[in-house]
Amino acid sequence: MIPEIGHYALVLALSVAALQAAVPMIGARMGADNLMMLAKPLARAQFLLIATSFITLIISFVLTDLTVSYVVANSNSTLPLFYRISAVWGAHEGSLLLWVLILSAWTFALTLFDKPLPLKLNADIIGILGIISFGFLLFTLFTSNPFDRVIPPPQSGRDLNPLLQDFGLIVHPPMLYMGYVGFAVPFAFAVAGLLNNQINSAWAKWVRPWTLIAWAFLGLGIALGSWWAYYELGWGGWWFWDPVENASFMPWLLGTALIHSIVVTQKKAIFKHWTVLLAIVTFGLSLVGTFLVRSGVLTSVHAFATDPARGVFILMFLAIVIGGALLVFTFYKPDAAQEPHGSVLSRESFLLTNSVLLSVATATVLLGTLYPLMIDALGLGKISVGAPYFNTVFIPLMAPLLILIGLGQRAFWTNDSFRRLSDAAKYPLLATMILALGTWGMIDDTSPIMALFGLVLALWVIFSTLAGQIRHYRSSKKLITPYLGQSISHIGFAITVIGITLVSSYGLEKHLRMSEGETTTFGGYKFRFAGASAISGPNYNGTEAIFLVHSENKFEARLAPQKRNYHSGGQTMTEAGISPGLTRDIYIALGEKINDTDWSVRLNIKPFVRLIWLGAILMAFGAITALGFGNATKTSHQSQKSNQTNTTTKISE
Amino acid sequence: MKILAFLIFGMFIGIVNGQAFLVDEKTFTHAGNQLRYDALMEELRCLVCQNQSLADSGAGLAQDLRKKVVAMIENGNSDQEIKDYMVQRYGEFILYRPRLNYATVMLWFGPFVLLLVAIGVIMRIVQSSQSNHTSQKVSSKNKLYDDGEHS
Amino acid sequence: MRQLIPFSIFIILIIFFAIGLTKDPRLIPSPLVGEPLPVRQLDELRTAETTLLTSNLIGSSFILNVWASWCAACLEEHHLLMELATQDAIPIVGLNYKDTRQDALKWLYKNGDPYLQTWFDPTGEFGMELGVYGVPETFFVDRTGTIRHKHIGPLDRINIAKAIDILNAEQNSSL
């Protein structure tokens, strides 16, 4: 009964989505207020229906209802409760339902904050989101229905892939989807703005908070994925340039460009074409990602069980939605005359450069990810484009970006001079060089030069941000401002860069064979293999090895890496033993059992790896701070007015 | 679809036979060989577990290939010779760093070209509005709020 | 019109994706097609003699089938090979890959032996020469000893027919 409720709710949601897509937009074209006002109740009804559907799916999993084929494929009664719930989004059908749920949740949120929006614009925004929702619901119901029944039910369910039986599955997909799907909102704003020819400062002001929140979630989702891969996969890697990882990274990169472009459009009502295009393409990349993961065109460890028929559907949907939006963009001609762009070294110039650099970086990742596909499609054979390629082309693009962050955030709007900027930069630059050279020199005699570059760039960002933040606080007398959010995010980015630089340059690894009781010295630590014993868990059994780690003068950690054999799937998993720390992770993974006393082991020292994820958390936190609670960012019109009133009050320094 | 099934099944059998996840330890005659080996392992792709490099993959074939690379390094073969050996038998697919040839020109030079185009675009936009801008100068208003006020 | 560029690039992308849907990214074509089959001295599975691979087969095209007793998909295609063997259209030789002699012989006894000869490659060394990455794989070799086609995965009638056509075309063109 319960799956039926879920199923019917979903079908109803499809009808509501159709109405939501059509009615408000028709009303907007006709100028019919009553039709446009239906946007809000329709959007809310859709959310309630999809939420109901989702809840019934959760219940089916909690009860391990084996008459539902999706439950059979992904769960069984011995699976612990938390994993039974997260198994809901562990495979294609359920994660698609999550996608649709989150889209309706975002739309619902929009209806809560639609007061400042003109009725027509709002109607179009909700309508466009309705079109997207309709497409995905159609896709779900016709090709990927999580409520399909299997009668008679089997004796037991298969199992959730052991790799997914982890905290990571509970948080990573929902967080990622909140961001991924969240970019549909700026997309809808963009297309609605184009249709109504209302891309202006006010529009930018309205779309900015939604973009910031989506970006923050996506960043957190990616960081969670990286962290999860790090401790779960057992090899100590945190980024593989896997096509599906890239699929989530690209909207984030372009979303960063989008945020910076929105800032300019809000302040000076310029870059309209660029901002709108970024908003469309960012969500376009989200959809491309959905296509890549679920269609089977690319091999990836993340790819869901793939089916070309599904791929066709998503591709058509992608073509219609993004193609349609880009077509509207092609004919866009802004009404109002744009304000003039500032001088070469104005803030808007820096922001433009930033935006363009990030777009080139995104395009580079896209090129590398899709290249094997394109070569194959052209009949030129099969090649691989992996980490060596991406690292070679991507990292050099980040260097100018880091330099620009430091300068750009100090630059004046409209007009600035080289002399003034270099004056602003001198103390941060000095502090940077002293600290970077000092740290680099201290670490090791043979420190790689790349480490120095990374440190210099990251420290430059930190010091110039601090200098700018102090300056800002002094002149505005307020701490909690959107500017603070910007500072936090920029510092967060620098911290991530430091983490990446240090772990890449100074990380150590050793493979060796160890006997029980044996001790080995490595990376300044002493590792003692204390012993191995049999273990068992709710749905697995295996071996656990105990390692005692000491540094020169004290005890560091007791680590217990495991080798697990899962009953139902027969898979063997390796659970790493990790001693987390701010300045270093000690990471031990078990290889194969060689004989009764000997094991093959992998020892790792990972300095400052946690900074990578801490930086990401800061970036997201900064974005939320930049929402500016109680401190609304002014539009260009308002800025001009306050400029005039403020000439009379000089602040002496 | 069938092929996918058989490949996955093949992997499964490999795992059940205890051939997967064997982390082999090596002792090389020279320390430099260890570094070369580590570097090569990140450059070669596993054909069975296609999402992993030879460094990370536990598949039976990956083990065999690792052994081969060790043997070739100890034998004195250069990195280029080892890669050529692999490509001769498994195709370009096995290299994670695509070799530069007429098919991959766009891949390797694309990002650089894009960057040049981007810089050109920026310069065009900034310069085209310089003519509009010559009349404006740095005003005292702007001096007070070097951080663009509240943005 | 510059504003048309994004839309145009997007359409090209969609076309690539559409073509991509017809391809299988996991299939790796063999670089050995068009190259001579590597020749080695290997042990024969049943007689345990060491012989030169293909010494009996000069002058006719043949099929080299790579198989193992632990491979389920090999079992799937086996009846087709048995059929081919009884038809006597084209000689079939086998390469037993990463297996034990005992298991391999038992498997052949149980399921039938379509192979003129089976070579024994317990370490997979020769398989590496052939670029084998999963079993079953089948090579179609022409009269001159050149590999003309490699099929990855279990065989089916259509693929066998296509491959034999390729071999015949080579044969006719060289006459």
Calculate the dihedral angle through the C-alpha atoms of B61, B63, B66, B71, rounding to the nearest 10 degrees.
-100
Residue A435, C-beta contacts closer than 8 angstroms, at least 6 positions apart: A459
Separation in Å, CA of C55 to nearest CA in chain A: 33
Amino acid at A593: K
Q: pLDDT of A251-262, one tens digit each?
A: 999 999 999 999
Chain A residues whose CB is inside 8 A of the B110 CB are 364, 367
Cα dist from A83 to A66, A418, C65, whole Å? 16, 57, 44
Calpha distance C90→C168 (Å, rounded): 11
Distance CA B105, CA A57 (A): 49
- The pLDDT, as a whole number, for residue A340 is 73
Residue B143 in this model has a pLDDT that exceeds 80? no
Q: CA distances (Å), A305 to each of A73, A248, A256, A301, A361, in order?
A: 11, 18, 31, 10, 30
Q: Residue A629: which pLDDT band, with cuts at 50, 70 and 90? A: low
In B, minimum Cα distance to A386 occurs at B96
Whether pLDDT at B1 is above 50: no
- Considering chain A, what is the average pLDDT of its residues? 90
Whether C129 and chain B come into contact, CB under 8 Å, resolves to: yes
What are the extents of the domains in chain A? 1-160, 166-233+245-334+344-364, 508-607
Predicted confidence band of residue A343 (pLDDT cuts 50, 70, 90): confident
What confidence tens digit (pLDDT) does each residue in A68-81 have?
999 999 988 888 89
> Quick one: what percent of chain A has pLDDT higher than 90?
69
Residue of C17, C19, C26, C32 to mutate, interface with A, max A Cβ within 10 Å: C17
- What's the confidence (pLDDT) of residue A647? 43
* CB-based contact A341 B55, cutoff 8 Å: no
Nearest by CB to residue B23, choosing from A375, A472, A591, is A591
Per residue in A104-144, pLDDT (tens digit) is: 999 999 999 999 999 999 999 999 999 999 999 999 999 99
Using DSSP, state whether B25 is helix, strand or coil.
coil
Length, in residues, of chain A: 653
- Taking the CA of residue C29 and the nearest CA in chain A, the distance in Å comes to 7
**CB contacts, 8 Å: A340 with chain B:** 129, 132-133, 136
The DSSP line for A470-510 is: HHHHHHH--SSSHHHHHHHHHHHHHHHHHHHHHHHHH-EEE
Mutate to test the interface with B, among A298, A307, A341 (most CBs of B within 10 A): A341
Phi-psi region of A107 (alpha: psi -120 to 50; beta: other; left: phi over 0): alpha
Chains that touch A (3 or more CB pairs under 8 A): B, C
SS3 of residue A446 by DSSP: coil
Residue A612 confidence (pLDDT) above 50: yes
Q: What is the mean predicted confidence (pLDDT) over C10-25?
A: 93
- CB atoms C17 and A315 under 8 Å: yes
- Distance (Å) from the C-alpha of residue C38 to the closest C-alpha of chain B? 11
Residue B2's pLDDT band, with cuts at 50, 70 and 90, is very low
Contact flag C25-A297 (C-beta cutoff 8 Å): yes
Residue of B nearest to A346 (CA): B126
User: Chain C closest CA to B71's CA: distance in Å?
Assistant: 13
Q: How far is A125 from chain B (nearest CA, A)?
A: 26
Name the pLDDT band for B23 (thresholds 50, 70, 90).
very low
Q: For residue A77, with 0-12 CB atoms within 10 Å meaning exposed, 13-18 middle and 19 or more buried, which class applies? A: exposed
State the pLDDT at residue A567: 80
Which run of H or E residues covers position A378? none
Q: How many residue pairs from chains A and C have C-beta atoms closer than 8 A?
A: 70
A77 closest CA partner among A66, A91, A88, A90 = A66
What gap in Å lies between CA C155 and CA C166, rounded to an integer? 15
Decide if A40 touches B, using CB distance below 8 A.
no
Report whether A393 contacts A368 (CB < 8 A).
yes
Residue A184 Cα, gap to closest chain B Cα (Å): 24
Q: What is the pLDDT of residue A444?
A: 64
pLDDT tens, position by position, A483-519 = 999 999 999 999 999 999 999 988 988 888 899 999 9
User: Cα separation of A243 and A366, whole Å?
Assistant: 9
CA-closest candidate to residue A601, choices A639, A538, A546, A523: A546
Question: CA triplet B82, B85, B88: central angle to 5 degrees?
Answer: 150
Which residues in B lie closer than 8 A to residue A360 (C-beta atoms)? 111, 114-115, 118
Q: What is the mean pLDDT of residues B104-120?
A: 95
Query: Which residue's structure tokens are 């002058």?
Result: C59
Q: How many helices (H) and strands (E) does chain C have?
A: 5, 7
What is the model's pLDDT at position B93? 94
- If you count residue pairs, one on B and one on C, with CB atoms under 8 Å apart, how many are there? 67
- pLDDT tens by residue, A44-57: 999 999 999 999 99
- Short-list A482, A490, A454, CA closest to A618: A490
DSSP H helical segments within A527-609, as ranges? none
* Integer Cα distance of A427 and A396 in angstroms: 25
A326 to A191, A210, C165: CA distances (angstroms): 9, 21, 48
Q: Select the CATH number that applies to the domain covering C30-173 from these four: 3.30.70.3000, 3.40.30.10, 3.40.50.1820, 3.30.70.270.
A: 3.40.30.10
> Comparing A570 with B38, which gets the higher pLDDT?
B38
What distance in Å separates residue C24's CA from the closest CA in chain A? 7
pLDDT in tens, A200-216: 999 999 999 999 999 99
Looking at CA atoms only, how far is residue B75 from chain C in angstroms?
A: 17
Residues of chain A contacting B145 with CB distance shorter than 8 Å: 475, 646
Q: Is C34 exposed, middle or buried (0-12, 13-18, 19+ CB in 10 A)?
A: exposed
Domain positions in chain C are 30-173
In the prediction, which pLDDT does A304 show?
72
Interface of chain B against chain C, CB under 8 Å?
2-7, 9-10, 13, 17, 47-48, 50, 60-61, 64-65, 68, 87-93
State the CB neighbour count (10 A cutoff) for residue A217.
24
On whether any CB of chain B is under 8 Å from the CB of C21, the answer is: no
- A-chain residues near B141 (CB < 8 A): 643-644, 646-647
With a cut of 60, say whether residue A635 has pLDDT above it: no
Give me the total of CB pairs closer than 8 Å, taking one residue from chain A and one from chain B.
Answer: 194
Most confident of the following: A151-160, A529-538, C39-48: A529-538
The pLDDT assigned to A446 comes to 67
Whether domain A1-160 has CATH 1.20.120: the reply is yes
Contact (Cβ atoms closer than 8 angstroms) between residue A296 and residue A307: yes
- Tell me which residue in A356, A415, A600 faces B121 most closely, judged by beta carbons: A356
What residues of chain A, 372 to 431, have a C-beta less than 8 Å from chain B?
A: 375, 380-389, 392-393, 397, 409-410, 412-417, 424
Residues of chain C with C-beta less than 8 angstroms from the C-beta of B9: 71-73
User: Closest partner residue to B96 among A341, A384, A476, by Cβ?
Assistant: A384
Q: Please give the structure tokens belonging to residue A38.
A: 């239906």
The per-residue pLDDT of chain C, averaged, comes to 89
pLDDT tens-digit series, residues A217-255: 999 999 999 999 999 887 788 999 999 999 999 999 999
Average pLDDT over residues A376-403: 93
- Measured from the Cβ of residue A577, the count of other Cβ atoms closer than 10 Å reads 22
pLDDT score of B20? 29
Classify residue A154 by its DSSP letter.
P
